[in-house]
Each structure stands twice: as C-alpha cells, then as structure tokens.
C-alpha cells in the first residue's frame, strides 16, 4: 500500500495516523494495527528521503549541484560577513 503512495501522501497519512493514536480513543486492537501501519509508513518515508539524499549527493559530486561549501553568504544575500 505505501509503495504506490508519494512521499507527501505517505507523510500526510502518517500524520493523520499519529493524531488518531495520540487521541487515545482507539480500541487496543485498532491502535496496534494503526501503529503497525505507521511503522511501514515511516520506513517508506525514510526510504524516499534516503533516495533523494543520495541523488542530491551524486549531483553535487558530479559538479552539477550548487557549491554550498564554497559559497559566501554575504555575497548570496547582500549582507556583510562577521
């Protein structure tokens, strides 16, 4: 189920699930089932974030990404350093 959802959909579902669990109104069996689904959603979201981080790192390593480490914030934002 979580495989076909986008990161944003998984995150929204996880947030909704957490709110239901935190309400304390669920019967134990339903709370356990929702907790189990939440674990699956967390893993799916983490996997999506890991893939995005790897893709960004590859772009930076190839020189196609921004050179964050060598950027001077004062030059970027028009302020003075220090």
- Domains and their CATH numbers in the chain: 2-65 (1.10.287)
Distance of CA 16 to the CA centre of its chain: 15
Please check the confidence at residue 4 and state whether its pLDDT lies above 60: yes
Q: What are the b/e assignments for 26-42, b being 16+ CB within 10 Å?
A: eeeeeeeebeeebeebe
pTM metric for this prediction:
0.68
Q: What is the mean pLDDT of residues 59-72?
A: 66
Residue scoring higher pLDDT (19 or 73): 19
Query: What angle, 0 to 180 degrees and rounded to 10, lies between the N-to-C axes of helices 7-23 and 28-61?
Result: 150
Rounded Cα gap, residues 74 and 82, in angstroms: 9
């Amino acid at each position: 189920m979580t495989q076909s959802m986008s990161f944003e959909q998984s995150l929204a579902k996880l947030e909704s699930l957490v709110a239901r669990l935190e309400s304390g109104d669920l019967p134990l069996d339903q709370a356990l089932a929702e907790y189990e689904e939440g674990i699956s959603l967390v893993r799916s979201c983490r996997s999506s974030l890991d893939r995005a981080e790897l893709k960004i790192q590859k772009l930076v390593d190839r020189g196609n990404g921004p050179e964050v480490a060598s950027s001077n914030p004062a030059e970027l934002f028009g302020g003075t350093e220090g």
